[in-house]
């Protein structure tokens, strides 16, 4: 089979690697740098398994900025372009996705379109009706940044939304490359599959918020939050996972997907969902207030990345904390972030030498502990990371 993947992000690239096991794969993207990197066998972002695969198999996947020829020969086209949340629209901006779907339909209407971009509920059915498409499904992804290929090879479930005959072809495509039990494969409508994606991420954001509020409570009362979390999580109905406190959720998916789901609710009554973003803001403010109470004059920010083992700062809670602190009087803020060449704030310094960074700070703030920092004097570090994991 000929598989075309549109979008060289962690979703698109991990899918390309997955299907290259048994099929001919071409990656498409408008970003010239990403395309050139793929054609040189280099991953444009950090993911250990993807980097290993590309270095060992440099010619297995081709990439191009001109997808027209690829579309002509495609049996399947997987669309994994960004759908950023646009505050002015009150929902996802699907302009790029609209364009890709229209182009594929124009060039090769027989190709089966697999939408993996996250979309508002009702989007796929609407564009199916608008363009009179017959070969389109929605297949949500549940990948973690930094572990995208691992999660692609070991999915918790595969969900395909769409007409049963087309959905069956897509499910067969996945199952041909993945060893997965039938009980972990689900067929449903387009709207239902889109709902699964948004509700899944909203739940994860809610769970993060819950354990963050537990941590705020324990910190305020002088209790051992780790003991409380272990005791709570021992109940199998709650589970001892995804329970490590942080300064707040961030990254690309959780903030925007939660907002989109709230938008989709429209006039439907809800209290829990609408409180999730508010809880995240409250948590960040609590953290900043706690830092201020410490009365440290020289505050160090260790890493700006959105999560451990990531290499991007999209919607990072640490950036929001820096913004909250940068104009504080009598406080000097510096950052240690190896991925930055210069500070992005006028009043905030960037220290490239880790030893100098530690020496110059009265208090170091870190959202997540890693091997570089976790052996330092704990009295000098403020973190909510109790279990040294993002899981």
List Cβ neighbours of 390 (8 Å cut-off, separation of 6 or more): 144, 244, 307, 308, 309, 368
Q: Give the Cα separation of 195 and 190 in Å (integer).
A: 9
Active site residues: 253
Min mean pLDDT across 150-154, 166-170, 379-383 is at 379-383
Q: Give the Cα separation of 47 and 150 in Å (integer).
A: 9
pLDDT of residue 389: 80
**CATH-assigned architecture of domain 199-382:** 3-Layer(aba) Sandwich (3.40)
pLDDT of residue 374: 84
65 is in an annotated binding site: no
Give the dihedral of Cα atoms 144, 147, 150, 153; nearest 10 deg.
40
Q: Look at residue 308 and tell me whether its pLDDT is greater than 90.
A: no
pLDDT of residue 259: 96
Report which secondary-structure segment, H or E, holds 300: strand 298-302
Are the C-beta atoms of residues 147 and 17 closer than 8 Å to each other?
no
Q: What is the pTM of this model?
A: 0.94
Which range in 86-95, 224-233, 311-320 is most confidently predicted, on average pLDDT?
A: 224-233
CA separation, residue 263 to residues 121, 140, 141, 195, 281 (Å): 10, 19, 21, 12, 18
Are the C-beta atoms of residues 310 and 251 closer than 8 Å to each other?
yes
pLDDT of residue 90: 92
197 is in an annotated binding site: yes
The two three-digit tokens of residue 205, written as one number: 């954001």
Are the C-beta atoms of residues 330 and 345 closer than 8 Å to each other?
no
Q: How confident is the model at residue 391 (pLDDT cuts 50, 70, 90)?
A: low
What's the DSSP call for residue 378? G
Alpha helices (runs of H) in the chain, residue ranges in sequence order: 10-19, 32-39, 48-56, 68-73, 95-107, 123-131, 148-153, 164-175, 190-221, 225-233, 253-265, 272-294, 317-325, 354-360
Report which secondary-structure segment, H or E, holds 113: strand 112-115
The average confidence (pLDDT) of the chain is: 95
pLDDT of residue 116: 98
pLDDT of residue 378: 72
Q: Give the Cα separation of 119 and 165 in Å (integer).
A: 22
Encode pLDDT of 279-305 as tens digits.
Answer: 999 999 999 999 999 889 999 999 998
How large is the C-alpha radius of gyration of the chain?
22
Q: Give the Cα separation of 382 and 223 in Å (integer).
A: 16
pLDDT of residue 53: 95
250 is in an annotated binding site: yes
141 CB burial (10 A radius; 0-12, 13-18, 19+): buried
29 is in an annotated binding site: yes
83 is in an annotated binding site: yes
In the chain, % of residues over pLDDT 70: 99
Q: Look at residue 270 and tell me whether its pLDDT is greater than 60.
A: yes
Q: Give the Cα separation of 59 and 216 in Å (integer).
A: 51
Residue labelled with tokens 């959720």: 249
The more confident residue out of 339 and 217 is 217
307 is in an annotated binding site: yes
199-382 has the same fold as 2-188? yes
Are the C-beta atoms of residues 196 and 140 closer than 8 Å to each other?
yes
CATH 3.40.50.720 applies to domain 2-188:
yes
Q: Look at residue 329 and tell me whether its pLDDT is greater than 90.
A: no
| Residue extents of the structural domains in the chain | 2-188, 199-382
Residue labelled with tokens 């010239």: 32
130 is in an annotated binding site: no
Q: Look at residue 52 and tell me whether its pLDDT is greater than 70.
A: yes
pLDDT of residue 358: 94
């Amino acid at each position: 089979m000929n598989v075309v993947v549109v979008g060289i992000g962690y979703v698109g690239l991990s899918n390309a690697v997955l299907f290259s096991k048994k099929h001919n794969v071409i990656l498409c993207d408008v970003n010239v740098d990403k395309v050139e990197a793929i054609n040189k066998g280099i991953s444009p972002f950090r993911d250990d398994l993807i980097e290993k695969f590309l270095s060992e198999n440099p010619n297995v996947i081709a990439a191009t900025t001109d997808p027209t020829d690829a579309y002509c020969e495609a049996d399947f086209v997987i669309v994994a372009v960004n759908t950023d949340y646009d505050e002015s629209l009150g929902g996802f901006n699907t302009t790029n996705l609209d364009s890709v779907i229209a182009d594929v339909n124009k060039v090769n209407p027989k190709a089966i379109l697999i939408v993996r971009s996250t979309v508002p509920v009702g989007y796929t059915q609407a564009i199916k009706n608008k363009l009179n498409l017959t070969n389109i499904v929605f297949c949500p992804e549940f990948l973690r940044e930094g572990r995208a290929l691992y999660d692609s090879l070991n999915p918790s479930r595969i969900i395909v939304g769409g007409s049963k005959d087309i959905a069956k072809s897509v499910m067969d495509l996945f199952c041909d490359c993945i060893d997965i039990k039938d009980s972990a494969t689900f067929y449903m409508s387009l709207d239902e599959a889109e709902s699964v994606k948004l509700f899944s991420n909203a739940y994860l954001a809610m769970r993060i918020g819950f354990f963050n509020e537990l941590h705020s409570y324990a910190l305020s009362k002088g209790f051992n939050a780790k003991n409380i979390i272990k005791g709570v999580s021992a109940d199998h109905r709650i589970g001892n996972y995804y329970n490590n406190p942080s300064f707040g959720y961030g990254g690309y998916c959780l903030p925007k997907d939660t907002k989109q789901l709230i938008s989709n609710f429209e006039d439907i009554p809800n209290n829990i969902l609408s409180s999730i973003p508010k809880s995240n803001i409250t948590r960040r403010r609590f953290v900043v207030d706690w830092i201020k109470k410490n009365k440290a004059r020289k505050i160090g920010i260790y890493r700006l990345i959105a999560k451990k083992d990531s290499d991007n700062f999209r919607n990072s809670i640490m950036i929001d904390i820096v913004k909250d602190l940068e104009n504080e009087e009598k406080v000097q803020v510096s950052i240690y972030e190896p991925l930055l060449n210069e500070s992005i704030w006028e009043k905030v310094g960037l220290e490239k030498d880790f030893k100098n960074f530690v020496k110059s700070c009265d208090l170091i703030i870190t959202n997540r502990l890693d091997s570089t920092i976790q052996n330092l004097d704990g009295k000098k570090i403020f973190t909510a990371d109790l279990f040294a994991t993002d899981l």
